[in-house]
Amino acid sequence: MSFLLRVQLPDRPGSLGSLALALGSVGADILSLDVVDRGAGYAIDDIVVEVTPGALPDTLITAAESIEDVRVDSLRPYSGVLDTHRELELIDQVAGARDDRLQVLVDGVPRVLRVGWCTVLDMGPQGAYRLVGSQSAPETQAATAPWMPLEKPVALDGEADWVPQIWKDMDTKLAAAPLGNTGKVLMLGRPGGPDFRPSEIARLGYLSGIVATALG
């Protein structure tokens, strides 16, 4: 079974090696690592690890945090496809799709950006409405989207009045980005967190901008 571990660790030589040894001591194999963000003296990494069936996920947290100044931001099961060129492949898939390009987009984004679900919203006479959603998108939809139209990628307030209660109950972190100048918006949901980092918002903006060009 695989898990996605988001950790904050000191940005100094040897930190990642010490973490790898600690995870290995509890039988976890590192399958991939992405640097999510960097700050003054620290780095935020997403690490996909594989553990033996029946292993307790809590042992991963204990092992990681046994290293000085390492903090686990989140741990959740991971079933995505490992690929170092995820964005490029998704853009190619969207551009090459004959029909339902938006559906191809929302189905691929959760794997690429490591979120729980994705939808595309548009504005109509009665306000915002959902055009398409990924398979994992919640059935409960937001009745309004007062933050639309959107000019740039942003992290949204998951506790705002417009957010459905069930999303709040699941501690869903939200982000969105405009799809070019179409008026449509790509919205992401990450139930249970962690929060979207500034670098992830920038990555979302990059992806949505390129995809908008591919959509024509």
- Do 157 and 100 lie in one domain? The reply is yes
Beta strands 117-124 and 185-190, pairing class: antiparallel
CATH number assigned to the domain comprising residue 94:
3.30.450.40
pLDDT in tens, 35-45: 888 888 899 98
**What's the pLDDT band for 99 if we cut at 50, 70, 90?**
confident
Query: At residue 192, what are phi and psi to the nearest 5 degrees?
Result: 80, 0
Name the strand (E) or helix (H) holding 168.
Answer: helix 165-169
- Do 106 and 202 lie in one domain? The reply is yes
Q: Is 17 helix (H, G, I), strand (E, B) or coil?
A: helix
- Do 90 and 107 lie in one domain? The reply is yes
Q: What is the pLDDT of the chain when averaged over all its residues?
A: 89
- Do 54 and 114 lie in one domain? The reply is no
Nearest to 203 by CA among 46, 15, 40, 23: 46
Lookup: tokens for 84: 């170092």
12-29: buried (b, 16+ CB within 10 Å) or exposed (e) per residue?
eeebbebbbebbeebebe
Residue pair 47/79 in contact (Cβ under 8 Å)? The answer is no
Please tell me the predicted confidence (pLDDT) of residue 84: 45
Range 179-197 average pLDDT: 92
pLDDT in tens, 100-143: 899 999 999 998 888 999 999 998 888 889 999 999 999 999 98
- Do 71 and 96 lie in one domain? The reply is no
pLDDT in tens, 48-91: 898 988 888 899 999 999 999 999 999 988 876 554 457 778 88
Residue range of the domain that includes 12: 2-77
- Cβ within 8 Å of residue 137, ≥6 positions away: 106, 117, 118, 119, 130, 189
Nearest to 101 by CA among 184, 21, 34, 168: 184
Number of domains forming the structure of the chain: 2
Range 173-180 average pLDDT: 95
- 36 burial (CB, 10 Å; 0-12 / 13-18 / 19+) is buried
- Do 179 and 110 lie in one domain? The reply is yes
The predicted model scores a pTM of: 0.74
- Do 97 and 170 lie in one domain? The reply is yes
- Do 118 and 198 lie in one domain? The reply is yes
Name the strand (E) or helix (H) holding 6.
Answer: strand 2-10
- Do 16 and 103 lie in one domain? The reply is no
Lookup: tokens for 11: 């940005």
Distance CA 55, CA 50 (A): 10
Distance CA 5, CA 49 (A): 7
Structure letter (DSSP) for residue 28: -
Instruction: Single out the residue in 43, 77, 111 at which a domain terminates.
Output: 77
- Do 107 and 62 lie in one domain? The reply is no
Instruction: Single out the residue in 37, 58, 77 at which a domain terminates.
Output: 77
- Do 191 and 118 lie in one domain? The reply is yes
Range 171-175 average pLDDT: 97
CATH number assigned to the domain comprising residue 32:
3.30.70.260
pLDDT in tens, 8-43: 999 887 888 889 889 999 999 888 888 888 888 899
- Do 109 and 205 lie in one domain? The reply is yes
Instruction: Single out the residue in 77, 104, 122 at which a domain terminates.
Output: 77
Distance CA 196, CA 174 (A): 8
